[in-house]
Structure 1
Amino acid sequence: MYNLFHQMNGFIQSNGGKTLTAGDSFSCRLNTPDVGPVECNVLLIHAPPECKGSLENKDVLYGIMATPDERAVFVKYGAARTLTNMGNDLETWPVPLWSDWSRPSLLQLDDFRGSLTEMVPVLQTKNIVATLDTITHRLTLVISSTALDLIQADMRRFPPAQEGVITNQARVTFLLDLDAGAQAYLTWRTGQEGPAIFNARPNPTGFHGCWMSFNGISPHEEATVQESISAREDGIELKMKGSTWERLYQALMSRTPAVVPVGTETINLSYP
């Protein structure tokens, strides 16, 4: 443990003293008792509830040993897509609580070839949680201040030209974070026809996604394309007409809590 802590500090110093936070990762070299020196990677997340009971500092970070392939997925696609897939493979919710440095990779970048997240620009945001309730048809979206800054900068590419009108098809896509309190997570890999669900309990009434996309419906599409909030792959996609896009745009730009109807569903927007 001391060796790992020492190497983490060395990594911080080599990166200009920038503090590591949840969603970051670093590489290290460990002297293991069974196979000797091993090159490994550590993925940092907020400590899951299973660990917090034994921790004095509840805000401590939790490190998961990972292979280089898994770290590559973590860096490109975020903690939620990486660790819920690993947790599903290892049958631990919502993330693997241990990791064997000698095991083969559970994930690699090719597992997500053809994903929507490879076809559009994706904001590398952290500390955003989205819960889609299947009974109330309500999407609860909680956005941190640092993530909001990134989203606002990207959304400025698609300002409402005039009330109720979208001149371009807005697509703002960003990563969602892990929420250990979730009932279920969407999971997806190349070859699946649609999203699967990784359950924390039987018959969940809501689920989380690993990314989210705001999609504008242009005026000439309004007669044929319906507003909706739906699961796509392991993410959540919102399709909105101009008037809905304007309401959401203004709420996010002004950092104002809001309740915005999207077709037959509702998005509840808040900030911690």
Structure 2
Amino acid sequence: MAKKNSEGGILDTVKTIVWALVIAGVFRTLFFQPFWIPSGSMKDTLLIGDFLFVNKMAYGYSKYSCPFSACPISGRILASDPERGDVVVFRHPTKNVDFIKRLIGLPGDQIQMIDGVLQINGKAVGMQPETDFAEVMERQGPQGLLPRCTNAPVGMGDTCLKKRFKETLPNGVTHDILQINENGPVDNTPVYTVPEGMYFFMGDNRDNSEDSRFPQSVGGLGFVPAENLIGRADRIMFSSAGRSLFYFWTWRPDRFFKAIN
């Protein structure tokens, strides 16, 4: 009898684990997906070590909504159009990784950079100078990345500065951008016309971002198909500046539950 009870207990435990995994998978597929910020391409909106949940309901569902891109979906279902200025997680068109960037160009838009100023459909967006963004020159996150600075060279432990501006998009969305050099390799570009069914993304840290300003022909992101959108980033849930989650002294409580603009 004791052996049967033991076997029954093990079976019940296995069933509980299986159902927990199924429920977690359904929740992750249909509602919210966790995402950890690994790089500084979206500073100062998102910092290395920010942890957030991606709203999977915002734009509908595609095959990329499921873990391992396993959803048997062609195109998108229950689709909703994203809005310019949304911070979006999407699957890279040529690399099997998820990216997070800001949506800048909608289908039919003409996008260009001139002297570091974003142009949308032939008009410069609003740019208001703000106080410099300052951070400590130190290795950041699990990858141990070092920040790039306007005031380089900067010694370890010293203050790294970047120029910060308030950018206003044509639909009124405002957000911070950072610049290191107004004449960098992607601060002056040709005109990119966004094809139908595609989107143009940029990082807020303009001189430290692999985004749609780099065409796929040179190994960059290029335009992103609508079906590659995974969800919208709405709020930071947790944030840690350290190389491990367990370094509690590096937690950034001022960023907990912070809305993403």
Indicate the TM-score class for this superposition, using the shorter chain for normalisation: under 0.3
Structure with higher RCO (Cα < 8 A, 6+ apart): 2
When you count helix as a share of all residues, which structure comes out higher?
A: 1
TM (normalized to structure 1)?
0.23
